[in-house]
Amino acid sequence: MGENLVIVESPTKEKTLKTFLGKDFTVKASIGHIRDLSEKKLSIDVKNGFTPVYEIPAKKKKVVAELAAEAKKAQIVWLASDEDREGEAIAWHLAETLKLDPARTRRIAFHEITKTAILNAIDNPREIDMNLVMAQQARRVLDRLVGFELSPVLWKKVQRGLSAGRVQSVALRLIVDREREIEAFKPEPFFKVEAIFTAKGVKQPVKALLDKKFTDVKEALGFLEKCRNAEFRIRSIEKKEGTRTPAAPFTTSSLQQEAARKLGFSVSQTMTTAQTLYERGLITYMRTDSTNLSTLALGTTKDTVIKLYGQQYSKVRNYQTKVKGAQEAHEAIRPTFVNNTDIEGSPAERKLYNLIWKRCVASQMADAKIEKTAITIEADGLEERFIAQGEVIVFDGFLKVYRESFDDVEDEEAVKLPALDQGASLTASSITATERFTQKPPRYSEASLVKKIEELGIGRPSTYEPTVKTIQKRGYVTKGDKEGTPREYTVLSLKDGVVAQRTESEITGAEKKKLLPENIGMVVTDFLAANFADILDYGFTAKVEEDLDKIESGKIPWNRSIAEFYDKFIAEVGKSLEDKSYTNAKRELGTDPASGKPVIARIGKFGPLVQKGSNDDPEKQFISLPKGVLIENVTLEEALKLFELPRLPRNIGSYKGLDIVASTGRFGPYIKYDGKFISIGKGGDPFTITEEEAVALIEAAARKSLPIADFKDSGIQVLHGRYGAYIKQGGNNYKIPKGVEAESLTESQCLEIIAAQDKK
């Protein structure tokens, strides 16, 4: 048994540290926090300075007992949780719960899990930073007060089972406000004029845009008529040298945004993958708002750049962290060993590591040198001028390694203009005026929401992912696609002296993987805005974050900002509970022409619905609003069509003498057959699925329930599973290696796989 016990948060981190430390060290994982506030009660003594009452959850009692036993055996206990507020709080809870002797307890922290960093931390232990602990405690207590006190209000006023959170409610408001901004947006048409010019003796045509946009067809037609006999020439050619500078190394926010744009990762996938890379010792700590690199990292990155690309590509840079209150970590996200250009791991891990490596290396490379050319084209009788713009990369610099997603320069040929002389005559091969429209603001994606939260100062790196995840988990927001709608537009063209007009169509407004507010999310936002303005106020939420930063730096007591907030907040809670009215998002859509009854869209006990008939009508009818259809947008025509659809559950036929019923539930649309529930799938529609389609699903499910292979002598089965095929023997399951087809497995191959995994 080792003389030293090192306690970390996760099994992966435990495994990595074991490879660095010798036999004198025992490494164990606490698996996150070992104690917390009760899940069932407030657990905060409001009258005594908002003192939290912590307890050990039942699921953690075994872990605590094991750690306590190991701590008694060790001469020194090293608390090696992460270096941010949450990690410091974990270390403090461990010391308190395990009743560790301060004389035999050391707190160590490191920004990267490398042997050098670990041994350096052991050589330089410190005490637990109580300012960090109190900052974490202040956040935890404030969020518990808001959530615990607001939930009963929402249950009474809106719908049972709802909950609210401080930062999450503000994030939800951003999404709801943006949706309403989009709905209120009225696109304004304009005409954008583009011309293709040719010059005598020059093969490459020149594409140019007019320096003016026209507001209507008449104006655009008038301009084309003036161009019919115009003689064009080059008025001026201006060349300027410019540079492009690389972006700073990744922070939590910028990593989430770039991984979404370049890799298609969700915020949760990015952080889960980054956590694994960190715990494997491959990257530095991934929750940070700092863009700094250590002196050692600057030196090793410089050496790598010179070795791979040459001295002319190297430029050492120190970036200033721009985020206000950036304190939780002191270095950007970077590879721990920049000379490792690739790693072993899952496809997601390798992709994310590659992105981090490129961003870090590019940040220490020379500027790209760009030559920009602007050609101004004029004609007698025209006030307007055409402008052709081009860029040529003279020296690629950091672009050799990394381009940000919004870079518009893909290669030299795409932007290079031909060599032309000032005063040269040009022929307009074609001039086209295309009707365009002002663009509505885009809906938030997970990554762009994180960016907005960061800009407003209403969150910190450790809160971005849980905030985005929570509003979706609560059903206030869904991530999905928005279908576009067809739109006609006018195209005017001048070619060979003839002006023509035609109408074309396009799909507009289509968006993918965006955060879409649900009806209940909009109702909750409206209720909170009307009754708890501070909760949804961006300035208030940002001030709370600033106060937490002040607590962390020891400038104010941890419970001062809570006391300032609580009295007003609890009074508003009491006022809302005393009010007997029920908040019900209700909208009268009109009258049903057939029956003369009023048609209303509203929130019901089980969600948003359309009601035909008044509340006192004994024959009133209800039908649920489909997912994605909002109460404030649904039309009378759309509502009446819902009543024409078959009602759910819907009998769609039979198979082998048993009925097939289609319906929808908590996990989406499904069919029910022989007591079993079979998912129709995301794109399936329980209102339109046919008997033939349902039978195909039933037969496919039956095939999946049968073993792929059954070797009875050895008790081995190859089975279909939720995440793919697997091997089962006795009570144990075994993963089938990548590249191995389950259908081709023999009994002896299964035994080899089982033996290899048992040994491991």
Phi-psi region of 613 (alpha: psi -120 to 50; beta: other; left: phi over 0): left
Long-range contacts from 148-151, C-beta under 8 angstroms, 24+ separation: 148/42, 149/569, 149/570, 149/573, 150/528, 150/532, 150/535, 150/573
| Distance (Å, whole) CA 647 – CA 643 | 8
What are the residues facing 54 on neighbouring strands? 37
Long-range contacts from 755-760, C-beta under 8 angstroms, 24+ separation: none
| Distance (Å, whole) CA 426 – CA 663 | 67
411's CB contacts (< 8 A; 6+ apart) are none
Q: How many degrees, rounded to 5, is the angle at CA 309 between CA 307 and CA 314?
A: 85
Amino acid at 5: L
Amino acid at 537: D
417 DSSP assignment: P
DSSP state string for 438-489: PPPPPPPPHHHHHHHHHHHT---HHHHHHHHHHHHHTTSEEEEEE--EEEEE
| Distance (Å, whole) CA 102 – CA 106 | 8
Pinpoint the alpha helices (H) of 81-129: 85-97, 115-123
Q: Is 42 strand, coil or helix?
A: coil
329 DSSP assignment: -
Phi-psi region of 607 (alpha: psi -120 to 50; beta: other; left: phi over 0): left
CB 388 within 8 A of CB 417: yes
Active-site residue identified among 285, 464, 476, 670: 285
Q: Which two tokens stand for residue 466?
A: 């849980």
Cα dihedral 55/59/63/64 (nearest 10):
20
Amino acid at 77: V
Active site annotation includes 444: no
CB 315 within 8 A of CB 364: yes
Cα dihedral 195/201/204/208 (nearest 10):
-20
105 DSSP assignment: E
Active-site residues: which are they? Answer: 285
